[in-house]
Amino acid sequence: MKHYSFILFYLFCNVFIYAFQGSLWVYIACFLAFSAVVVWGSFAIELGYFVNSINHKRTKIKEIALTFDDGPTEFTPKFLDLLNEHQIKATFFCIGKQIEKYPETFQRIIAEGHTIGNHTLTHSRSTGFLSTSKMVAEIKNCDEVMKNVGNIQTNLYRPPFGVTNPSIAKAIKQTQKISIGWNVRSLDTIIDDERKIYKRITKDLRKGSIILLHDTSEKTYHVLVDLLVFLKDKKYSTFTVDSITNSRKK
């Protein structure tokens, strides 16, 4: 793993400290700055500080990937109906506990040819503070649920909240997963205004983009309705994440 930015930052701090003859306040300032960078790197998956994630596809054609996190939910069937209507395949990063709650919907996602990814068993709010062993358990237990309910295995993994750190990096390596990020974040779980979500997605769209959405609300469904019209109008095709990694197993 190549954390060049951390190395450069470390060298800069040492030069800065040397120049100011080891002042205590300089040490404190460098420590606080370094801590800020670590936190930033933990929450910005696209920076690749701790995990080398796939955040987009290198392509010369107008194609994008639709990815949905946190399902399946009561809203997922409507998403599936819409995708089927437009003959589009997407990638669903599913939570183990949600699969247990909506097994038929999970089976439908698979049956209709969409790609499945692991999004941990519980999507714990404490994800960033879990030990490596607990993260491994979260991933493996989700794998087990997927196997039992859908008879499917996947090497694709998306970290909850996009959070990465050394423990999560080790867990991903131990479970032999491929980390999938994004380069277009809709913020559809935070923003209430559907038009703002739509504009946020479309303004950042480019060839090979991986779009992060959630099949968890009527709001996002409405955004997807307009987004699919936009993609058709702008002549964008779609791809699923496994087409990049060739990692899908069934």
The string of pLDDT tens digits covering residues 218-239 is: 999 999 999 999 999 999 999 9
Range of the domain at 34: 4-43
Strand-strand pairing, 115-118 and 63-71: unpaired
Verify that 13 and 98 share a domain, yes or no: no
Task: Decide if pLDDT at 247 tops 80.
Answer: no
Verify that 67 and 32 share a domain, yes or no: no
Verify that 135 and 167 share a domain, yes or no: yes
- pLDDT category at 23 given cuts 50, 70, 90 is low
Looking at per-residue pLDDT, the higher value among 248 and 61 belongs to: 61
Verify that 29 and 119 share a domain, yes or no: no
The percent of residues in the chain predicted with pLDDT above 70, rounded, is 80
Verify that 127 and 202 share a domain, yes or no: yes
Q: Read off the pLDDT of each residue in 195-218 and give the average, rounded to a whole number.
A: 97
Verify that 146 and 180 share a domain, yes or no: yes
Tell me how crowded residue 151 is: count the other CB atoms within 10 A of its CB.
Answer: 10
In a domain, 122, yes or no: yes
Verify that 20 and 128 share a domain, yes or no: no
pLDDT in tens, 81-126: 999 999 999 999 999 999 999 999 999 999 999 999 999 999 999 9
pLDDT in tens, 53-76: 999 999 999 999 999 999 999 999
Q: What share of the chain is helix, strand, coil (3-state, %, to 5)?
A: 50, 15, 35
Q: Is the dihedral of CA 97, 177, 78, 227 positive or negative?
A: positive
Tell me how crowded residue 31 is: count the other CB atoms within 10 A of its CB.
Answer: 11
Verify that 30 and 91 share a domain, yes or no: no
The one catalytic residue among 69, 70, 188, 215: 69
Verify that 232 and 110 share a domain, yes or no: yes
Q: For this structure, is 69 an active site residue? A: yes
Verify that 145 and 242 share a domain, yes or no: yes
The one catalytic residue among 70, 214, 215, 242: 214
Q: For this structure, is 242 an active site residue? A: no
Strand-strand pairing, 91-94 and 63-71: parallel
Verify that 112 and 27 share a domain, yes or no: no
Verify that 31 and 124 share a domain, yes or no: no
Tally of structural domains, the chain: 2
Task: Decide if pLDDT at 39 tops 90.
Answer: no
